[in-house]
Amino acid sequence: MPAPLQDHPFRRAIMDEVHARPVEIIDGPCRIRRVALMQPPVAGATARLMARFEYFASTAGISAGTSRQRSFEAGTRLVTWEFHTEFITVTWRSGLDDKQNWPNGIGLGILDESQLIGAMRIDIIGDSAVPPRLLPGFALPSLCVASLEAGTAQAVTDFVPDADGFTRFEFAAGGLSPLRRSIVARRLLEIETYRTMALLGLPLARELGPKLRACEIELTALIETLSDATTTDSVQTALSALHNLSTRSGQLSEQLGYRFAAGHAYGDILRTRLAGLRELPTALGSSLGSYVANRVDPGLATCTAMEKRLVVLADKIERAIGLLNVRIGLDLQIQNKAVLETIARTGTSQFRLQRTVEGLSTIAISYYLLGILSYLLAGPLEQFHFEKTMAMSLAAPAVLLVVWLMARAVRHQHAGHDA
């Protein structure tokens, strides 16, 4: 029998992920509430909250497991905590007569560092369609009446929060099996959660939009003046302004990048959950899909447009900086050429001066040598009755030649050392 194969290090995590968030079976009519809370934007916030939850569970005598979805019973309520990347949800199920929106004993007290981003309530009733007597409780302008699961169930909402901040849903699930009822209820909860999370980037885009517009206007004005930047000082001033714009653009991208990327991801999940409802249109109100799409898609489109503007701004700044760097490089080349020409002219002048000095030095040295020779040969020439003037005249060319050869040898020797 062959030895068992070795598991990949991630195999267990992948297998566990399939069952990480199980559907909780809903047997009959009930009331479900859910709150979604954002974690503080600091490292380790989720881990600290999970530790606080563990302490709460241990002190309350609750066995809630160790996964990212923890379920337990608190009195007559079935409570589920779900830990996500940047937010958590607390969901509790009770009877239709439960009037407490913020009950004790389910752990809400440990969420003092979190911020509420969404809250909803679903009343699951045994009818196959929402009774007409319940419709007047919803706002008509935003009324959504969705026929779900190919017409076997119905959901009604207006997405208007009540006094405690809960958005109300009526879900008539009498024609569904317990499993399908549970799945659809979960999708309704997720639709409201991800609808909110998907639009978190929109207020930030509106807040930082004027700053982006100011950068665009400043860049346009700066590019129009680049042709006038003909001096080194003006080019350096323009380059400094562009680097300042680049820094501000980078700060905007840093503030918006993650939020926009998360918004697009939540939007994709939202569309998937809406498609999973298998919704049919009704004559009583807008469908969930069309209503949510008409509100969420324009917001995500605004974020997408701002992302594109940031990319275009960064590209324009980079091109402008590149042009100025090319201009600076050309100016440096021109300056270097002028310096080299000056050095060449100076070298030529020095060479000519050196030759002139060598010539004068040859004459001077020869003059002094002839003077010394005249003293040295004065006695012998007089002894042999040879004319001194004639002798110096004959010696002068030889002395000049010797001195010139010596100067040339010294120059060659120095040139060899320099090389």
Structural domain containing residue 157: 16-198
Residue 291 CB partners (closer than 8 Å, separation 6+): 142, 144, 159
Q: Does residue 363 register a pLDDT over 60?
A: yes
Q: Which segment, 147-156, 331-340, 407-416, is predicted with the most confidence on average? A: 147-156
Residue 417: the pLDDT is 60
- Residue 1, in any domain of the structure: no
162 and 55 in one domain?
yes
H-type helices in 115-177, by residue range?
A: none
Residue 355: the pLDDT is 67
Q: Does residue 416 register a pLDDT over 70?
A: no
Residue 89: the pLDDT is 95
Q: Supply 75's token pair.
A: 């009195």
325 and 267 in one domain?
yes
Bridge partners of 92, per DSSP, are: 33, 79
- Residue 246, in any domain of the structure: yes
Could you count the other beta carbons within 10 Å of the beta carbon of residue 374? 15
Residue 13: the pLDDT is 74
Q: Does residue 19 register a pLDDT over 70?
A: no
More confident residue, 84 or 375: 84
232 and 144 in one domain?
no
pLDDT per residue over 318-357, tens digit each? Answer: 888 887 777 777 667 777 777 777 777 776 777 676 666 6
C-alpha 358 chain-centroid distance = 70
Residue 26: the pLDDT is 92
Residue 382: the pLDDT is 66
More confident residue, 16 or 42: 42
84 and 46 in one domain?
yes
Residue 365: the pLDDT is 73
Report the alpha-carbon distance of residue 53 to residue 214 in Å, rounded. Answer: 46
194 and 48 in one domain?
yes
C-alpha 351 chain-centroid distance = 61
Instruction: Give the pTM.
Output: 0.75
Residue 300: the pLDDT is 93
Residue 206: the pLDDT is 92
C-alpha 389 chain-centroid distance = 97
- Map 164-209 to HEC letters: CCCEEEEEECCCCCHHHHHHHHHHHHHHHHHHHHHCCHHHHHHHHH
Mean pLDDT over 169-196 rounds to 94
34 and 138 in one domain?
yes
Residue 358: the pLDDT is 67
Which stretch of 81-90, 284-293, 299-308, 322-331 has the lowest confidence by average pLDDT? 322-331
- Residue 402, in any domain of the structure: yes
Number of domains in the chain: 3
233 and 180 in one domain?
no
159 and 42 in one domain?
yes
Q: Supply 196's token pair.
A: 């909110």
- Residue 8, in any domain of the structure: no
pLDDT per residue over 202-246, tens digit each? Answer: 999 999 999 999 999 988 888 888 777 667 777 788 888 888 988
368 and 402 in one domain?
yes
pLDDT per residue over 252-287, tens digit each? Answer: 998 898 999 999 999 999 999 999 989 888 878 888
* Strand, coil or helix: 158: strand
Q: How confident is the model at residue 91 (pLDDT cuts 50, 70, 90)?
A: very high
352 and 332 in one domain?
no
Residue 192: the pLDDT is 93
Residue 61: the pLDDT is 84
Q: Supply 118's token pair.
A: 């969404």
383 and 356 in one domain?
yes
Residue 65: the pLDDT is 66
Q: Which segment, 73-77, 364-368, 384-388, is predicted with the most confidence on average? A: 73-77
Mean pLDDT over 151-177 rounds to 92
Q: Supply 50's token pair.
A: 């999970």
Mean pLDDT over 352-363 rounds to 68
Residue 371: the pLDDT is 72
Give me the percent of the chain exceeding a pLDDT of 90: 40
Residue 260: the pLDDT is 93
DSSP labels, 333-389: HHHHHHHHHHHHHHHHHHHHHHHHHHHHHHHHHHHHHHHHHHHHHHHHHHHTT--HH
Residue 151: the pLDDT is 86
- Residue 28, in any domain of the structure: yes
101 and 148 in one domain?
yes
Q: What is the helix (H) or strand (E) element at residue 254, kind and residue range?
A: helix 232-275
pLDDT per residue over 374-410, tens digit each? Answer: 766 666 766 666 666 676 676 677 777 777 777 777 6
Residue 158: the pLDDT is 92
